[in-house]
Structure formats: structure tokens, C-alpha cells
Chain A
């Protein structure tokens, strides 16, 4: 088959509307008669709500309705989508997460009342007039502190604030014995700090209700409209799914934070029915900082043991994972099945034990944030191995190479079975490291570093390798691990009578460029121009079903579903063509948009067959008219992208300021459909990972107040903080999906953070500062202090 599009950097189809200001984000939408909502939110992290007085607010101009927790006592809370059981077998603690707080507020920003008015300003004025009588109670924000005896309790039903505990890998006794016998053990206690996702479009929802048809519509800035519909209808509001349309229009970035079913979505939908008018709520940035589910927040102790030859003999990990006050949609999966299962990394470590304690605190919920668990696992491994190299006085690259899993293609050689449940699909881990070293010019760098050190300059290089489990996921596997949903994807391909093609995908694009990438695939497979393909997503009324976009799954799972439908179209097309050409279907072949009788020049074009399918005058008797197929694709395994990231930094002795000089990312994401888009994904991920290393981090004070909930206080990576990135790629196709793709959305964010931190530590050691670790983000103050 010829490929006109696959593998090419086709410019994006979706750009035109965005560069001209014609995007259609939720907050851009105005419905007739639309009202505006504003929340009254708890200013305390933990408080008893003794009373709410809405009388004055009710009298304010433009007020339509005010709801409080008492009005919703009968309504369910938002559910958690993933169940992890205690080691004892008991079910995790899953306290109700009400749409409005009732009786108690459990984190700053917990919604206490919802005020609906004719205009946004009126809603705001009236919300300010709602009087709430609070009794402030002591709060706990740190997960390691949360489990201590006497810590303030978040939920009565979760003693010790433990949501669940969980263990994976080899028996702890075996790992302990291996550590005891090791020639060298490196121990590191650290915090993987809490991150605010910061999609630049704040979350926005519009709920509407049509009294005559009894139909609800929710416009939502979401990464998975169907999942929101399922959770909201079946678990929260108890309304029939066929009466609910959920639309995720243009969405301004997600990074995980728009996967989850938020209380506001369900509340607004509920309110629209109560007042029989549309209701809009758009988060402010302050609300986004406080309430968009955060990421990371692990307090970890990890130990890595080596034999006398530098071979890793054991890895032992304990993590306190902060859940926040409530279990968000995927939260339990993040520190467990997306973190513990990745602790093999790229190394042959024979004994691994990971133990996780998930802890409730009086803070915002923590859930998947770009990479979700995998960045935490990678950070842990790559910091440990780098520190081990420094402590043992060996080269950090050599130490990695010595412990690397050898190459395997997953076809002629089996997949690699890890100690922590997963089986890697295919890999050539040496390849990405060697490529990265060549791009860096390692030997020259070490020379330059030495010279710099002699003149008092601190240059450093940091390496990291990573592997991630993407393309989530085989439903049976995730089901056995606690997922309460399947994780297949749906792809419908509708060939129109004129041979033009509409594709309906359950994946959702919020920056990934599906309208382009998917069209490239479909156009090539059908041998038609890309302009003849339209990709439709984000509307539960037009797309049959879908699980949405996260975990770098769109192409690996969603693309595969589309391929399945294309295969069905080609098969049916062959029957139609065979009939018209008076040949046997088995003698037909399809290539480059033509159905041909093998070995002859008798052929019909794709367009001819499309028309015949809809105007079936000369048509097989046993065949239905039409050319429209829908498929569900459930993968057989995760996909395992991997790579090597390298950072070069200079640390200013006098100030501790870190300047990022170079950043090299070599990623193997399997086959690539659009290199330009893949590079863009890597760039964005790398910037976020660098952000975690150097700039970002949510901070709570001892009362549970977030002290940096604005762009003045939370340091985002900005254009002048970053260099141009150097990307390199390698291709090891995924052996188990039809496109051979692995996924590229999270890679950048997983590999980059430890590379940067390792580079800073390397720079400090080059100047004789034997610093083992610095708490992220590595601000000038922290780096300077570490040097003293």
C-alpha cells in the first residue's frame, strides 16, 4: 500500500479555527435563557458548617436560585472509578463525595452553596452575600503526617486516614534479604511534590434541560464525554443515559485534569433541570489552582542494592500517596497500578517490592496528571541509580547500561516479564541511550565540565531512561486490577454515498490533533485524499460510545478501533466489487483506493463501490446495502514506549540559579503517523517535566491553605525559562496493535524531571559539593542552601 500521509508531518486540519479565533470552547457557548452559577466555597481546610444563611442573597438582583448541601442530601456523590483493596482484602475506604458539602467542609474550596443568577456578576455579588457559619477544625495536609496517631481525621470511616494499603512484587522478606546481602545500598527519602495541572482553558460547564423531551445536555471541558455521561447518569443523578447528551467541544488542554468526573458537572446538570433553564459555570484560575485534581504528591523511601559488580540486586519502595480529601475518578490506580508496576524500569532488577499507603488529607484531590504514576516511578528509579553511581564512584551511563534489559522485538523473541506484573511488548533500550549520548557528545561534555569546574563554573549533565505502560488498556486486565470500567475504544467509519468518509471516534482531542492524525490513517488505508475524511469526536449523540483520551491511548486504542472498521469496509467492498466484476470475493484485492480482480486489470474505485453500496441496483443478494461499520477495539496488552532524556545545566555558584543549557529527548513511541505532532507532544511534556524539576509545586500551609494559588505565586515554565529542545527518535513497532504505535502523550513529562535534577546534582558534585538530593522544585534558594 502506498502511503501518502502516514509518517509525514502533515500540517494540522484543526489549526485554521484556532488561529483565527473561531475555536468553540465551552465558555464561548451561549444558550438562550442561560443563567450563570457561582460557588460559595469553604475558606477552611477542615470545618464544621454550623449554618448557612441565604436570605440576604436570595433578595439580591438577578438571583434565580440558591442550593446548599441540604437540598442535595438525597443525591449521590460522585463515584470513584477504580477500586483498590487493602492488603487484608477489605475494600478501600470510599467516603461519599457530595456535590455540595453538607455538615463539614473537608478542604479549602469545598463547595458549600451554589448561587444561580441572570448574570455572572449578579451571581458573584449574591454568592458574596451568602453567610456561612463555620467552626474551624484542625487539618492535616501531608500524607506521612496524616497516618500518625492523633492526626486530625478526614473521614470517621477511615481510621488513621488510610484509604487503602497495597503491595506488589517479590515478598518483602526476600527483598530485605537481598538488600542485607548487597555490596552497596543506596537509600533515598524524598517527596515527589504536588503539581497543579494548569490546562490554560479553565474548566467550564453548561447544563441544559428540555422539559418537553425530558432531555439533558451537558457541555463540558472534558477529555471523555461518554465516561462523564456514564458516571453522572448511572452513579450520581440516576437519570437514564439515553436522555442525556454530553458534549466535549474544543477543549483547551487537559493533561489528565479533565478526565475526572467533577462534582460541578453533575451539580450543574441537576440544577438545569431544577430551574428548567441552562446554567453555566466557568472556573476562575484561583478555583482551578485549588480544585482541578492535582498530580503526584508522594512521600517515598526507596532503597536500591547492588552486588560488587554493580548489578542491581534489589529494590524496595514505600510510598505514602496523598489522595486529598476524596477519591477522584482514577486516583487509586495512580500510585498503584500506574506506579508500582513500572518499578522494573529498564533494568533487570531481580527482586522488587513496593508498598503503598494511600492517605486522606484535608487537601484537594490528587489524581492522574500527565504521566500519572509513571513519572513518580521513573523519578524514583532514575534518581536512585544516579545517586548510586555517584556514591559508588562509577559513571552513571555505564551503571545503567550494565543493568539494562537486552533488546527484544516481542515477535520472534518473547515480551519481557517484569517482577511487578507487567510484560513489556518490545524494546531496544540500548538504542535510545546510545543515540542520546551521540547527540550530547558525552566525552566532550565531560572534558568541558572539568575545564569549567577548574574555572569555578558548575556544569552538569543528567540522564534518565524511562518506560511507560500506555494505550490503556486490556479491559480484562484492568478489571482484575480494580477498574470499574472497560478500557476499549470505539471507532465508526461511515462511507458516504459519494465516497467521502466520516469517522466517529470515542477518543477526544484537546490539543493532540486527532482531526489530522486519524484522517492521515484513514485516507491512506482507503486510498483517498485526506480532504475526503472528516473526524468527529466529543459528542455522545453522534459518537456511539467511547472511553476518551488519556494515558497516551488515542491512536493505540482509538486508532486501532478505526482500523478494525476499515477492515470491515474493505471486506464488504470486496464482495460488492466481486459481484459487479463477476469474480469471486476471494479473488479481489484492495490497494490504493481500488478493488481489483487479482492478476487482471479489472478494477473498481473506492468511490464506485461506495455509490453502489447506497444505490444497490447491481448488488449481491445476500448483502445489506450501506457502507458503515462500527468497531470496539480492546487491546491485548499495554504498549510500552521508552526513551532516554539528557539535560545539561549550569548552576550559578553565587545564587544557586539553574540555567538549562540543553535538553535532549530520544523517544521510541513505536511507529509514528505524524512526526511533527509527536515532536510537539514531546516538547510540551518535556516542558511540564522541567517545570516540576525547577519551578512548580503546590504548597499548603499548616492550616491547609494553598499559598500559591495564582500565576503570581505558582511558578509556571515560561518562554524565557526554556531552551530549544533537541529531539531524536527510534522506532520499535508495537507488536500487538495494527498500527504498531505505542503513544507519545506522556513520554516527555516522564523522562525529563529526573534528568534535570540529576544534572543539577552532577553540577554540584563537579564543584565538590557532595549533595545527595534537593527537594523539588530546585529553586535558587534550595540549590544555594544545599551548596553551603
Chain B
């Protein structure tokens, strides 16, 4: 198993004499099953980015203050920098890469239509947080949207068009479910 771990990191050199206490985790990510031996201190965000190479989930801070790393764990938005990979054992994770399903998710479309992104770095986290909001409240007010996104920092947009993007998506989702 150690060999496998080394292969996944692709990095351990010959002068390494460390022995990791392997912790095996099983996770479902974007519908696909994965099993890996991980270091206990490995954060979920690093597991997603480094081990699975799903780099759409970003890291913007080291104090769980920016929300760039937001993913869904068993249907709930979590900041993946505050979760250890071992804590995700048995969980089902959705990342930004898992949001489009043949076609863009209404939020992905909304961000595009309403110019809700500029540099795009905060965008995956914003979309995942907004998706969590819309799953709980399909018709949020402007204030509710702003409140829900308060843990996600965007330096580019001033949030104006992000709010509009979420409103666009809510409208679209409501139209789709309406008979």
C-alpha cells in the first residue's frame, strides 16, 4: 500500500525514510468510487487536488475564510480545507467538475450569462455554495443570497453580478420544476 501511496503523490524520493500510518479511505467523488491510503493530516482539498487531480476546487486561504475550496459532502456545502480526507471516508463528494451533467448546471449557466465571474478563482466555491443555498431555498431574496455567500470572498466582481447569477439560476430551476 505504501508503494501505491507513493505512486499517487508521484513524489517520494529515495532519501525518504518516512513511514506513513496508512489510513484507507473510500470516497465517491462526482459519482466515481475511489480508494486511497492517506496520511492522517491530509486535507480533503489536497486529496481532491493532488491525489485525484481535480483542480477545480481552489485554495484561497489557510483560515477557512475564503470559501474557494467549497465542495458538497453528502449533499451539504463544506469548506474542504476544514475537512480531513479521513473524515470523508464513506462520503459522497461533489466538486465543481461534477456539476455539469451533459449540459451546464443552471448556476454555471447563470454565472456565464450574468457575468458573475472575472478571474474565475472564487467561482467554483461560489457555485457550490450557491447550489447549497438553492437546494434549501429555491427562491431566495437578494438579502438571503448575500447572506448565504458571506463566507465566500470574491475580489473581482463586487458581488453585484454574482447575486444576479444566482437569481438567474433560481429562476431557471423554478421554471424547470414548474409543471
Q: Which residues of A contact B (CB under 8 A)?
A: 11-12, 14-23, 25, 27-28, 30, 34-36, 61-64, 118-119, 121-122, 198-202, 250-253, 255, 282, 284-286, 510-513, 676-677, 679-680, 683-688, 710-712, 716-720, 722, 724-725, 748
Which residues in A have their C-beta under 8 angstroms from that of B99? 20-21
Report B84 CB to chain A, min CB distance, Å.
Answer: 13
Given A684-B158, A719-B162, the answer on whether A23 and B112 have CB atoms closer than 8 Å is: no
Q: Mark B65-100, 1 if CB is under 8 A from A, else 0.
A: 110100000000000000000000000000111011
Which of B55, B68, B96, B120: most chain A CB closer than 10 A? B120
- What total of A-B pairs shows CB separation below 8 Å? 204
Given A285-B61, A683-B158, A711-B153, the answer on whether A719 and B146 have CB atoms closer than 8 Å is: yes
Which residues in A have their C-beta under 8 angstroms from that of B113? 11
Which residues in A have their C-beta under 8 angstroms from that of B104? 19-20
Question: Can you list 8 A-B pairs, Cβ within 8 angstroms, ordered by A?
Answer: A12-B115, A18-B117, A28-B49, A122-B16, A201-B60, A253-B121, A684-B157, A722-B159
* Stretch of B7-15, B21-29, B170-178 contacting A (4+ beta carbons < 8 Å): B7-15
Interface size on B, residues (CB 8 A): 66
**B166 (CB) vs chain A CBs: closest residue:** A719
- B interface SS class: loop
Flag if A677 contacts B158 (CB, 8 Å). no
Which residues in B have their C-beta under 8 angstroms from that of A717? 158
Report B87 CB to chain A, min CB distance, Å.
Answer: 18
Flag if A199 contacts B161 (CB, 8 Å). no
Q: How far apart are the CA atoms of A677 and B115 in the complex, in Å? A: 8
Q: How far apart are the CA atoms of A255 and B121 in the complex, in Å? A: 14
Q: How far apart are the CA atoms of A18 and B96 in the complex, in Å? A: 10
Flag if B65 contacts A61 (CB, 8 Å). no
Flag if A684 contacts B155 (CB, 8 Å). yes
Which residues in B have their C-beta under 8 angstroms from that of A250? 119-120
In the complex, the 9 A-B pairs of residues with the closest C-beta atoms, listed nearest first = A21-B56, A711-B65, A18-B120, A252-B121, A687-B158, A511-B119, A511-B118, A21-B96, A683-B158
Q: Mark B102-119, 1 if CB is under 8 A from A, else 0.
A: 001000100111010111
**A251 (CB) vs chain B CBs: closest residue:** B119
Report B115 CB to chain A, min CB distance, Å.
Answer: 5
Q: How far apart are the CA atoms of A598 and B18 in the complex, in Å? A: 79
Which residues in A have their C-beta under 8 angstroms from that of B56? 20-23
Flag if B112 contacts A16 (CB, 8 Å). yes
Q: Which residues of B contact A (CB under 8 A)?
A: 9-13, 15-18, 39, 41, 49, 53-63, 65-66, 68, 95-97, 99-100, 104, 108, 111-113, 115, 117-124, 127, 142-143, 145-147, 149-163
Given A11-B112, A718-B150, A719-B146, the answer on whether A121 and B39 have CB atoms closer than 8 Å is: yes
**B57 (CB) vs chain A CBs: closest residue:** A21
User: Which one, B62, B65, B121, contacts A25 given CB within 8 A?
Assistant: B121
Q: How far apart are the CA atoms of A572 and B11 in the complex, in Å? A: 54
Report B88 CB to chain A, min CB distance, Å.
Answer: 18
Flag if A285 contacts B60 (CB, 8 Å). yes
Flag if A14 contacts B120 (CB, 8 Å). yes
Which of A25, A34, A200, A748: most chain B CB closer than 10 A? A200
Q: How far apart are the CA atoms of A719 and B164 in the complex, in Å? A: 12
User: Which one, A121, A680, A711, contacts B161 given CB within 8 A?
Assistant: A680
Report B172 CB to chain A, min CB distance, Å.
Answer: 14
Report A554 CB to chain B, min CB distance, Å.
Answer: 13
Which residues in A have their C-beta under 8 angstroms from that of B155? 198-200, 253, 255, 684, 688, 716
Q: How far apart are the CA atoms of A512 and B108 in the complex, in Å? A: 19
Given A118-B12, A720-B150, the answer on whether A684 and B118 have CB atoms closer than 8 Å is: yes
User: Which one, B18, B62, B123, B154, contacts A62 given CB within 8 A?
Assistant: B18
Q: How far apart are the CA atoms of A679 and B156 in the complex, in Å? A: 12
Which residues in B have their C-beta under 8 angstroms from that of A19? 96, 104, 108, 111-112, 117, 120, 123, 127
Which residues in A have their C-beta under 8 angstroms from that of B41? 121
Flag if A686 contacts B158 (CB, 8 Å). yes
**B159 (CB) vs chain A CBs: closest residue:** A719
Flag if A252 contacts B142 (CB, 8 Å). no
**A14 (CB) vs chain B CBs: closest residue:** B120
New A-B contacts (7) at CB < 8 Å, excluding given A11-B115, A21-B57, A255-B155: A15-B120, A118-B16, A285-B61, A680-B161, A684-B118, A710-B63, A719-B159
Flag if B97 contacts A21 (CB, 8 Å). yes
Report A691 CB to chain B, min CB distance, Å.
Answer: 9
Q: How far apart are the CA atoms of A511 and B158 in the complex, in Å? A: 13
Which residues in A have their C-beta under 8 angstroms from that of B58? 25, 200-201, 252
**A22 (CB) vs chain B CBs: closest residue:** B56
Which residues in A have their C-beta under 8 angstroms from that of B160? 683, 722, 724-725
Which residues in B have their C-beta under 8 angstroms from that of A25? 55, 58, 121
Which residues in B have their C-beta under 8 angstroms from that of A718? 149-151, 153, 159
Q: How far apart are the CA atoms of A711 and B62 in the complex, in Å? A: 9
Which residues in B have their C-beta under 8 angstroms from that of A14? 120
Q: How far apart are the CA atoms of A284 and B64 in the complex, in Å? A: 12
Q: How far apart are the CA atoms of A19 and B145 in the complex, in Å? A: 19
Which residues in B have their C-beta under 8 angstroms from that of A62? 11-13, 15-16, 18
**A201 (CB) vs chain B CBs: closest residue:** B121
Given A61-B18, A720-B146, the answer on whether A711 and B66 have CB atoms closer than 8 Å is: yes
Q: How far apart are the CA atoms of A748 and B108 in the complex, in Å? A: 26
**A722 (CB) vs chain B CBs: closest residue:** B159
Flag if B62 contacts A719 (CB, 8 Å). no
Report A7 CB to chain B, min CB distance, Å.
Answer: 16
Report B92 CB to chain A, min CB distance, Å.
Answer: 17
Report A117 CB to chain B, min CB distance, Å.
Answer: 8
Flag if A200 contacts B122 (CB, 8 Å). yes
